[in-house]
Structure 1
């Protein structure tokens, strides 16, 4: 049995709690009385980015790619993988299937519908499309994807700009190596070579750089028959000398297209894509690691 004093305390506490708890409003009563399932069935606003907003509740988005940093790109990769798995049992992969000519990186970025596309992302999409191209016969959805990302007949017929010799007898060409970029003018003359307004022998102190600079003239036996005026920037002396050498080789082909087999065999018109590998975080350099001692 509770004493009268205890019962009085319980009654007073209940009155205070009732005063502190406000009565539910009409809107709150509707929300509390409405089951959670029915909230998704009633929509007061238009869908926004895959969501339907209603009284602070948000439904599940249409795709999990919504939560990624690049949902459009990730959704495309998922769709390409799903399409290949869906039609692979129906169509047999063939190694001899003809692959379409895909769009370039810039045109591909516009076709995908993103602001920017990394080179690694572009290569991954192309590899997925090449995987779909092995299916024979190709289903209609696959052909629709190819029509979106493949080059049209007009784009295939477009040819590269033809280099010509200007009215002053000059041939302009561009060469790149590592971080160096060079614009080279080649004109018939007595064999003078100027780099950024200086003589090549003064600009390049190393004999190795001067030899790589003159390599296109030596393999074609045209040393002393053309004048060269080059403007180069970026990189070091080795990269600049090889960039100018590539520009000279291209300009010589403009003057005499018959020199192309000789220059290609000597490797003068092949762009050297090698660059210095970047340093990695947590390492001493690109490959070298810090010394590690167990104890």
Structure 2
């Protein structure tokens, strides 16, 4: 391959220019700039990788709680009988964390991490500082919940929750009508087991057909909504007749079921199920 003399001369000129050291330029000769126009204006490296996530404040909190546990776990003795503080509710914890909103799953994860730290005994001052931020104060603990009463129309209001469903239930003496979001229970719930779940407190106390129910429910599926209404009905019945508590307790009507669907894991077919392994 032939090379022209002009290209050789040009290459030699470029190499000679690159070998010459650049002149000394003082800061007085360069006008001050800002932003990305100067080297001093480049964005600094974030202190934590959580900066690049969708919710950096929440993710940084989870990382710090895990790090605190791993740091003090070797020098303390975990105890399952250690007393746990009364944690803030979801709304108050959202404000304490400093985010706009927390999902229910995120709130439960934070509480589980805090409960994990609560098992460490004796508790270092760093853990006590975390607990003081996310636990209820003495003033909040002294505030008692308002007692449920029957209003001037003879209605008792109660709230029931199950999974992601939440229901506000009014119970009043009547002939046994059940309205859910303005519809009859037979129209709203197509499954007989969901309709039976709503009436379970009445059947357990032999009060079927003696009270009317009006419920507003949202969130979750039909099973969660039916069980949320059932819990609300049981609580409202206690407002009318507190002596029914042992019967409802024995039937399991006034204890909230805290079980939720386990989340799916990445790289798996479901929460526990793995993908089928194929040899060839």
Secondary structure at the aligned position of 1:227 is classed as: strand
Instruction: State the 1:183 CA deviation.
Output: 4.1
Task: Tell me which residue corresponds to 2:176.
Answer: 192
Contact kept in structure 1, 2:231 and 2:256, CA below 8 Å: yes
In structure 2, distance between residues paired with 1:73 and 1:214: 41
Task: Tell me which residue corresponds to 2:145.
Answer: 160
Count of residues paired in the alignment: 268
Instruction: State the 1:17 CA deviation.
Output: 5.0
In structure 2, relative to structure 1, the CA distance for the partners of 1:120 and 1:252 (3 Å cut) is closer
Matched, 1:219 2:204: yes
In structure 2, distance between residues paired with 1:84 and 1:240: 37
What value does the CA root-mean-square deviation take over the aligned residues?
4.7
Q: Which moved more, 1:153-162 or 1:125-134?
A: 125-134
In structure 1, distance between residues paired with 2:173 and 2:226: 21
Matched, 1:143 2:128: yes
Contact kept in structure 1, 2:150 and 2:239, CA below 8 Å: yes
Residues 108-257 of structure 1 aligned to structure 2 (within 5 Å) = 108-176=93-161, 182-189=167-174, 191-195=175-179, 208=193, 210-230=195-215, 242-257=227-242
- 1:227-250 deviations in Å (ceiling 9; x for gaps): 334455677776665444333222
Secondary structure at the aligned position of 2:199 is classed as: helix
- 1:67-117 deviations in Å (ceiling 9; x for gaps): 444443344344434444544555444444322222223322222223333
Secondary structure at the aligned position of 1:147 is classed as: helix
TM normalised by structure 1 equals 0.64
Instruction: State the 1:167 CA deviation.
Output: 0.5
In structure 2, relative to structure 1, the CA distance for the partners of 1:188 and 1:64 (3 Å cut) is closer
In structure 1, distance between residues paired with 2:149 and 2:208: 22
TM normalised by structure 2 equals 0.67
Bigger radius of gyration among the two? 1
Mark the runs of 5 or more structure 1 residues left unpaired by the alignment: 1-5, 32-43
Task: Tell me which residue corresponds to 1:3.
Answer: none
In structure 2, distance between residues paired with 1:84 and 1:279: 25
In structure 1, distance between residues paired with 2:108 and 2:93: 11
In structure 1, distance between residues paired with 2:67 and 2:108: 18
Instruction: State the 1:24 CA deviation.
Output: 9.8
Q: Which moved more, 1:91-100 or 1:107-116?
A: 91-100
Match of 2:87 among 102, 108, 129: 102
